[in-house]
Chain A
């Protein structure tokens, strides 16, 4: 158990930089996620930490040890793969014992520690089975037990829950977080699923095109995105082309065309600049009935029931359509198509992105 530090870590293949100058320090026992779309360099960082990819520049430190050029077997890490990567020819017990045997743990202590690790992932009675006899969720739990059994200094997770179905995934998120807390092992978790990153981590690092965009607590990432990319990547955004109509302090008004304009709490672009306007679906308040002065008016165009939430496609004056959400029980649960509604949009949930970033 140690802190994990990257110092200007970089990786490029030829001219193509996959990871650029990423520096970060993960405190002892901290859970940090790297979040980003595929190809953003997050997995490359993880593989560099594990020693499976050689960095082109920068340093990796575990505690005070510079491990940048050590082979993977001498780094003392635990790695959990998306593909589980269990040893198919070994029993569950031998899978978990693998790392301990490499550390010359034998006899009674070996079986005690293997069984301890298996008990932690609630697979105590599965020692004699082979991986192929287990379900996907059970296999991933064996992989976790295998990684924690040798008491690694740092735990690495490479999209470990992506192959599991939705229900099991949420169960495993909670289980994994509890396990990490009780063991207190420094953890780096890589994922493309923002729900996973936000719910499990102490801090989240959002990455795009090899660059760390923002490293902050989940609350800050969600409510106070620092870059346009983060604002557009987190949450469920509506996107519209627009223009900065006016600036006032840090914020301003964004013009959406068709006579529509919205207040935004933060606008980084100059007045008159073409921007992409992001409105979080979950931050739009719907009220049935015609709009009062200063509110947006629209009509329900489509309703989609998704379980806990209902999604509405709302047509605004001027023909723009946006998606808004409401609870699936209560007064807003069953608005018919054609119902006039008024929308309240908090300025904190409106972001302006440079127009060229809109596709990211």
Chain B
């Protein structure tokens, strides 16, 4: 164990940077979020109000955006999990000489800039994009499918972008499942399917949870991809906040939304780390 004194020394550089450049600026927004916005002139002096927060809960439009954001986070997480687990299992348990090429393949897209990748998806998904043209030429559809500016487009783009995070977390988790424990289950009468369901899956649960938290939080706070694939109309919380600040110049409302988003992310991380502790405590 590292002594507490040394632990503090190790954490100090990062803690200083985060405090100075993240925590303090964010906290400086806190008063703003209770301020009143007067269109045309900005922040009203000396006025404090809960209006900005109440509106998030009361306003139908804001509520819709919040639910949409959470739904998107959940579906992207689920999609990453379903697509990622088999791949992670193959990487962790497949032939040794496949491991490095497969991991490179997973990591490779991350070397490409986010904007470039999102543009790539636009080229593929627009009404006259590659996918729709191909399907129409094959005669499978008569009208172009609506693949952009809606949930489908965002899901495709975000799943693609966050899949590597999920896979890397899962590979580590699956590799941590002892082979002997699986062999023990097999000798006790478990079929391959049952070994997976009764041993491999529960023992990789901490990795599933960690990967899911990561993807969920990244998804609900993603800005660039939703902006590009969602367009000006199909908004999630991050793009909404951006517009409140940059286009409407309604800083109080933007700040309140920011804090709401942060609160959601933090409470989800808190809840799932409690879950992980309960599960992983046994692992």
Q: Which residues of A contact B (CB under 8 A)?
A: 50-52, 71-75, 77-79, 81, 83, 85-90, 98-99, 102-103, 130, 132, 143, 146, 150, 156
B282 in contact with A150 (CB, 8 Å): no
A73 in contact with B282 (CB, 8 Å): no
User: Of B186, B188, B202, which is in contact with the most chain A CB atoms at under 10 Å from its CB?
Assistant: B188
User: Of A51, A79, A88, A156, which is in contact with the most chain B CB atoms at under 10 Å from its CB?
Assistant: A88
A73-B187 in contact given A85-B180, A130-B282 (Cβ < 8 Å)? yes
A132-B282 in contact given A72-B183, A81-B184, A85-B181 (Cβ < 8 Å)? yes
Give chain A nearest CB distance to B201 CB in angstroms: 10
User: Of B180, B187, B199, B202, which is in contact with the most chain A CB atoms at under 10 Å from its CB?
Assistant: B187
Knowing that A87-B184, A98-B185, A150-B188 touch, tell me 8 more A-B residue pairs with CB under 8 angstroms: A71-B191, A79-B184, A86-B181, A86-B184, A87-B181, A89-B202, A90-B282, A98-B198
A73 in contact with B186 (CB, 8 Å): yes
A99 in contact with B282 (CB, 8 Å): no
A81 in contact with B180 (CB, 8 Å): yes
CA distance A288 to B199 in the complex (A): 64
Q: Which residues of B contact A (CB under 8 A)?
A: 178, 180-181, 183-192, 194, 198-199, 202-203, 279, 282-283
B186 in contact with A72 (CB, 8 Å): yes
Of all chain B residues, which has the CB nearest A133?
A: B282
Give chain A nearest CB distance to B174 CB in angstroms: 15
**B183: A residues at CB distance < 8 A:** 50, 52, 72, 79, 81, 85
Of all chain B residues, which has the CB nearest A103?
A: B189
Give chain B nearest CB distance to A146 CB in angstroms: 7
CA distance A220 to B279 in the complex (A): 52
**B202: A residues at CB distance < 8 A:** 89
B282 in contact with A51 (CB, 8 Å): no
13 residue pairs from A and B, CB less than 8 Å apart? A51-B187, A71-B186, A73-B186, A73-B190, A73-B191, A85-B183, A85-B184, A88-B181, A98-B188, A99-B188, A102-B190, A102-B194, A146-B188
**A73: B residues at CB distance < 8 A:** 186-191, 194
Q: Count A/B pairs, Cβ under 8 Å.
A: 74
CA distance A71 to B191 in the complex (A): 8
Give chain B nearest CB distance to A159 CB in angstroms: 12
**B180: A residues at CB distance < 8 A:** 81, 83, 85
**A102: B residues at CB distance < 8 A:** 188-190, 194
A51-B186 in contact given A88-B203, A89-B283 (Cβ < 8 Å)? yes
**B282: A residues at CB distance < 8 A:** 88-90, 130, 132
Give chain A nearest CB distance to B198 CB in angstroms: 8
User: Of B181, B189, B194, which is in contact with the most chain A CB atoms at under 10 Å from its CB?
Assistant: B189
Give chain A nearest CB distance to B109 CB in angstroms: 34
**A89: B residues at CB distance < 8 A:** 202-203, 279, 282-283
A150 in contact with B186 (CB, 8 Å): no
Give chain A nearest CB distance to B229 CB in angstroms: 40
Give chain B nearest CB distance to A95 CB in angstroms: 9
A99-B181 in contact given A87-B199, A89-B202 (Cβ < 8 Å)? no
Of all chain A residues, which has the CB nearest B182?
A: A85
User: Of A52, A73, A83, A99, which is in contact with the most chain B CB atoms at under 10 Å from its CB?
Assistant: A73
CA distance A237 to B153 in the complex (A): 75
A87 in contact with B186 (CB, 8 Å): no
CA distance A342 to B264 in the complex (A): 86
**A81: B residues at CB distance < 8 A:** 180, 183-184
CA distance A72 to B183 in the complex (A): 8
**A83: B residues at CB distance < 8 A:** 178, 180
**A88: B residues at CB distance < 8 A:** 181, 203, 282-283
A52 in contact with B185 (CB, 8 Å): no
**A87: B residues at CB distance < 8 A:** 181, 184-185, 198-199
Give chain A nearest CB distance to B203 CB in angstroms: 6
Give chain B nearest CB distance to A151 CB in angstroms: 12
**B199: A residues at CB distance < 8 A:** 87
Give chain B nearest CB distance to A62 CB in angstroms: 13
